[in-house]
């Protein structure tokens, strides 16, 4: 057996309100859920991006929790890559720069395909890349 896709991916952020503003406004993602002080979730195509306050998810769920999600979390900067065509990457670069978001790297991979890297307000490394960098279409 092999999983067919990743359904959700998580990043851990230092300021949920700032992260919500960044991912909703700068990246245009649709917010689908929020619990004050704990998390904010966004739809990204057929995937969900989960943004968590790491302190709020580190402990076990309450004994009477309706959804007994086990503790989880990470500290420090994570990484997430969004798929984009070459044309979309050019537009994203212009959009991000116009919003005052610095592009940390912009290059062509040796096997073909372009990536641009930038940071979210919590320091997480974000990337737009052509799927062909991994031999995907």
What's this model's pTM, rounded to 2 decimal places? Answer: 0.94
Write down the residue that tokens 């940071």 correspond to.
Answer: 119
User: DSSP secondary-structure letter at 121?
Assistant: T
Q: Is residue 75 very low, low, confident or very high in pLDDT (cuts 50, 70, 90)? A: confident
Q: Rounded mean pLDDT of 90-113?
A: 97
Pairing of strands 8-12, 47-52: parallel
Residue 27 has pLDDT above 90, yes or no: yes
């Amino acid at each position: 057996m092999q999983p067919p896709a990743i359904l959700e991916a998580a990043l851990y952020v230092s300021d949920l309100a700032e992260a919500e503003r960044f991912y909703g406004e700068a990246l245009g993602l649709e917010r689908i859920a929020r619990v004050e002080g704990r998390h904010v979730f966004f739809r990204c195509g057929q995937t969900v991006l989960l943004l968590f306050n790491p302190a709020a998810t580190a402990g076990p769920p309450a004994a009477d929790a309706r959804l007994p999600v086990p503790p989880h979390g990470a500290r420090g900067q994570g990484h997430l890559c969004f798929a984009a065509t070459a044309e979309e990457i050019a537009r994203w670069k212009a959009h991000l720069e116009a919003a005052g978001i610095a592009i940390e790297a912009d290059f062509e991979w040796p096997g073909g395909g372009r990536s641009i890297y930038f940071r979210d307000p919590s320091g997480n490394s974000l990337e737009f890349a052509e799927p062909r960098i991994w031999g995907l279409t």
